[in-house]
Chain A
Amino acid sequence: MHQFLQQTFSGLGAGAIYASLALALVMIYRATDLVNFAQGEMAMFSTYIAWTLVNAGLPFWAAFFITLFISFAGGMAIERIVIRPVESAPVLSAVVVTLGLLLIFNATAGWIYTYTLQEFPSPFPDRPLFGALMTTRDLGVIAVTLAMLALLFVFFRFTSTGLAMRAAAQNPESARLCGVRVGRMLAIGWGLAAAIGAIAGIMVAPVLFLDPNMMSGVLLYAFTGALLGGITSPVGAVVGGLIVGVTENLVGTYLIPSQLKLTVALGLIILVLVFKPNGLFGTAIVRRV
């Protein structure tokens, strides 16, 4: 029983990491109908920016907010400069462009910062909770992820920019006719996603340690979690991420030897998707003939 609780809590901790990146993926998908494969690397790069600032002597929270600002601006710039040219091109071209971005960010980070492992300070103290089932740091990650989710929810539901963004994503032509500046919405969407990614990276780096490949493994799980929850649903992203984390842990402990953990965990999730092809909270795509 103790083992079960341990694994579940461990899974929630890992799941929160996946959920935070999944939120950024969902953000971009809702805003631009694209899966951004470079999301993890962008988050990692933002974290390195924060790390540079902290090393230069800035207090943690100053570095945090400056990084958020830079990431937001950077995300908007990337959408304008890098993604805009392929927006009207076949989807595959956009996919290739995001893959290219992935490589560029990863290689540049490796070049500037080397591949040596770095520590990253955490705003949360590192104390055990619930009798060593969890640490305050893991709880902090979960709390921040839920906070981001709440903010996003409010943003999309109750603000006019959020509404405009949803319109721009669903039907750009009609939105334009209604006076929505579609281009600006897309850029804001990317900016927000980059900022969410930066928060995810900064939360996660104390746990995973900072190196250029920090997010490569996380991206796969975040992608899985986002799709499991429904690629259009932020709530789904968080729930999906948490489920992926816990499933992976329990599967590896009870069902099969650890050497097949990844395979079986993915298999189970795909099995769920077979019954719910749009994810747990996703909306079905209705096709007009």
Chain B
Amino acid sequence: MTRTFGMATGAFAVALVSTVAWAAGQYSPGASDTEIKIGNTMPYSGPASSYGIIGKTDAAYFSMINDQGGINGRKINFISRDDSYSPPKTVEQVRQLVEQDQVLLMFNTLGTPPNTAIQGYLNDNKVPQLFVATGANKWNDPKHFPWTMPWFPNYGIEAHIYANYILKNLPDAKIAVLYQNDDFGKDYLNGLRAGLGPKADKMIVATQSYETTDPTVDSQIVALQGSGADVLMTAAIPKFAAQAIRKVYDIGWRPTHLLSSVSNSVGTALKPAGLEKSVGIISATYYRDPTDPQWQDTPQLKEWLAFMNNHGLSGSVTDSQAVVGYSYAQTMVAVLKNCGDNLTRDNIMKQAASLHNFTLPMLLPGITLNTSADDFQPMKQMQLEKFDGTTWKLFGTVMGSGS
């Protein structure tokens, strides 16, 4: 009898221990006691390759976290693949990441067409599609796509802010728009239209588009000037924004120039255009431009700079997309930390949808991330700023609701 009792106790003990060990971590594929596998696709080649720095910064940040011990003792295995901004390629890479590499979640996948191509697949397979790097308006839809979450304020929000500014300060304006002929540019145009409401048709007097394969946008700028507009909104990537700013100045046109946040970096866009030619430009932003003199002595910028230089990214310290990547990665790390030992996909989505007044060092003071079960848009605030020839001067208040 002692023997049976002993065996029973032993069996019970084993069962107890294994349940405890089991409860030590709940995992979906891609997570374990030692590892968290994160999947990503980025355009490291092709016409959108200037965004590739975001993926590189993600990788560097995760590697830094690993050096510091990882997240709750687990190392991040960040697998990033090139999709050249081509949706069929994105589908292929994502399927490989999910089915072959067995990643826990997809993080920071870039581009509206690529993300559209994989959204159905990821939601059908209940794989988190977190913090997508696109500003399209459609990602905040937890009812239909409960596994997809955007991150930065979308282009529509930004264009609305510009529209409100125009309506308030320049109610009789005649507006010209230069936009990239893809979802990014069109989102701005449509957002501006929506923000101007019934006055849109009267106020927008000319629009000109360009392709990323066009060498210059000089012709478009000349045509826009010919429309007699006195306000210009430019929805372009840095290369073309710089050309536009320069041409506007060179032909003697002095409109109120509203510039997309994607291209407002002092180092990457304004300096090539010519700082003196960029005076008076207005933009909206949610993060700190690393080339702007006003942040140079702040501890946050110094920390970011040290991070960049220590991880082989010193060639990109003027690239504001690197600040964006840094902040994306910090958000991901925070969410994963909050998951503790419950690294199931369900819990990850739950934690991602539970951000309250979450701040990041390289965001503007006053901007917070907030999510809830029916609001998947973490950032909704931006602030307007005007360029004075040396630095961006923030004005007004942080706009958009925090919660």
Contacts and interface: CB of A to CB of B under 8 A. Distances in A.
Interface stretch (A110-118, A166-174, A175-183): A110-118
A41 interface: no
Contacts of A116: 50, 53, 268, 315-316, 318-319
A119 B270 CA distance: 11
B252 interface: yes
Interface stretch (B31-39, B205-213, B334-342): B205-213
A217 B218 contact: no
B243 A252 contact: no
B13 interface: no
B47 interface: yes
B74 interface: no
Interface in B238-262: 238-239, 242-243, 250-252
A211 B315 contact: no
B245 to A, nearest CB: 11
A213 B49 contact: yes
B219 A216 contact: no
B242 A117 contact: yes
The interface residues of chain A, by DSSP majority, are classed as helix
B218 A13 contact: yes
Interface in B95-116: none
Given A6-B251, A258-B210, A14 B223 contact: no
B220 interface: yes
| Most chain A beta carbons < 10 A, residue from B213, B274, B316 | B213
A75 B207 CA distance: 43
A217 B238 contact: no
Contact of B223 (A3, A110, A209): A3
B222 A262 contact: no
Contacts of B271: 119
Interface string A1-24: 011001100110110011000000
A220 B214 CA distance: 9
A258 B208 contact: yes
Chain A contact patch, size range:
35 or more
B219 A10 contact: yes
A100 interface: no
Given A119-B272, A135-B250, A253-B219, A262 B211 contact: yes
B73 interface: no
B237 to A, nearest CB: 9
Contacts of A13: 218
B315 A113 contact: yes
B182 to A, nearest CB: 11
A158 B52 CA distance: 50
A218 interface: yes
A190 to B, nearest CB: 24
Contacts of B294: none
A115 B213 contact: no
A264 interface: no
A113 B49 CA distance: 13
B219 A209 contact: no
A208 B216 contact: yes
B226 interface: yes
Interface residues of B, number: 41
Contacts of B348: none
Contacts of A107: 45
Contacts of B219: 7, 10-11, 14, 248-249, 252-253
A289 interface: no
Contacts of A262: 211, 213-214
Interface string B14-52: 000000000000000000000000000000110101101
A135 B47 CA distance: 28
Given A117-B239, A212-B49, A3 B222 contact: yes
Contacts of B213: 216-217, 220, 262
A260 B212 CA distance: 14
Contacts of B242: 117, 209
A270 interface: no
A7 B223 contact: yes
Interface in B319-371: 319
A70 interface: no
B215 interface: yes
A136 B220 CA distance: 20
A273 interface: no
B268 A207 contact: no
Nearest to B247: A10
Nearest to B273: A209
A267 interface: no
A245 to B, nearest CB: 9
Contacts of B181: 258-259
B179 to A, nearest CB: 10
A253 B219 CA distance: 8
A56 interface: no
Nearest to A106: B45
B53 A115 contact: yes
A221 interface: yes
Interface string A116-152: 1111000000101000100100000000000000000
Given A115-B50, A116-B50, A119-B272, 18 more contacts: A6-B225, A10-B222, A114-B53, A114-B315, A114-B316, A115-B52, A116-B316, A117-B242, A117-B269, A132-B250, A132-B251, A208-B215, A208-B243, A211-B50, A216-B213, A220-B213, A258-B207, A258-B223
25 contacts: A7-B222, A10-B222, A114-B319, A115-B49, A116-B50, A116-B268, A116-B315, A117-B269, A128-B250, A207-B216, A208-B215, A209-B272, A211-B239, A213-B47, A217-B211, A217-B212, A217-B215, A249-B218, A249-B222, A252-B220, A257-B209, A258-B207, A258-B208, A262-B213, A262-B214
